[in-house]
Amino acid sequence: MKLGGIRTAAVATAVLVAMGSATACNRGSDTGAGGKGGGNPPVGVDLPRSDSDFWNSYATYLEAEAKGANLLPISNSQNDVTKLVANVRVFRNTGAKAVVMAPQDTGAVTSVLKELAAHGIPVVSVDTRPDKERVFMVVRADNRAYGVKACRFLGGRLGGKGKVAELQGSLDSVNGRDRSEAFASCMRKEFPGIEVFPLPTDWKGDVASAKLQSLLAQHPDLGGVHLQAGGVFLQPTLALLRQKGLLEPAGEAGHITVVSNDGIPQELDAIRKGQIDATVSQPADLYAKYALSYARAAAAGKRFVPGPTDHGSTVVQLPNGLEDQLPAPLVTRENVDDKALWGNSVGK
């Protein structure tokens, strides 16, 4: 398996001096997690939750990518930082040489990262970027771009006028903040004629449904909805719109334009049926693939530098580490059947 951006520290320094820039390159053929003679160091993986179709898909891909890896028993912290701390301590005590996690509260995870750093255990963070403390690599897409893509699609469909609800995630999470701030900024600058109603939900489908129901009662002329996480918001939203007699197909009078985010199979089916109009496809397959690859490389003592990768992404420098920003395309009726979309192949 090839990875962009990898260097040993010495080689990286030499290349940077020679080229005058920090660019990524390939590691070459993979001879096991530790490279030649490096063995196969154990890696701990914690799943963040099981109440989201997106994260359940990620777990499926992890299972497929785990072949040949030396994984400790996978844990699930169920969106609870206390459980995450306990799970990580089990990894540490059972010999993990690297840990993969996806902290949902990116501020509260600081103590976990400090503890792992004190024991020399590198961390790969998936989808979320911890607010503080060093990480080896963040495997993530550009969440601000998610907000901008949703804004521009909704704004264009509504002709720059009307009312839009935004079902936000948790603002304690860097993802929730990035998506919310980018969506709001884009709407203010590019579509000032659209009134936005932000609805914080803490990534909970029942909270999203209740708040959207209250908003519809006050604003029955709502023209659009942005779902920051289709994995938890899609089904509650569709059920509510159906109950209210508002689930009109795209192109029909009374249709409420819906832009989601995740790229799960259920969203793609909803696009085909005209129930929603678009989604941003978060790469669950690539999250699993490169999270394990970076974890194995970290356990083997490898290092990376910023720059383009050989898998269509870019490694960027963070204040507390590096981030591999994977591509996340906008999916509409025009490209929903693209076989390259992970949502069309998961479980098949």
CATH pick for 6-138+283-326 out of 3.40.1400.10, 3.40.190.10, 3.40.50.970, 3.40.50.2300 = 3.40.50.2300
Residue range 143-281 forms a domain whose CATH class is: alpha beta
Q: Confidence band (pLDDT; 50, 70, 90) for 104?
A: confident
Q: What's the rounded Cα separation, in Å, for the pair 257 and 341?
A: 22
* Residue ranges of domains in the chain: 6-138+283-326, 143-281
- For 179-236, what is each residue's pLDDT tens digit? 999 999 999 999 999 999 999 999 999 999 999 999 999 999 999 999 999 999 999 9
DSSP string, 61-127: HHHHHTTTS-BPPPEE-TT-HHHHHHHHHHHHHTT-SEEEE--SSTTTTHHHHHHHHHTT--EEEES
Instruction: Determine the average pLDDT of the residues in 84-102.
Output: 96
Q: What's the rounded Cα separation, in Å, for the pair 111 and 9?
A: 27
- For 278-307, what is each residue's pLDDT tens digit? 999 999 999 999 999 999 999 999 999 999
Q: Is the pLDDT of residue 171 over 90?
A: no
Domains 6-138+283-326 and 143-281 share a fold: yes
Q: Is the pLDDT of residue 177 over 50?
A: yes
- For 235-267, what is each residue's pLDDT tens digit? 999 999 999 999 999 999 999 999 999 999 999
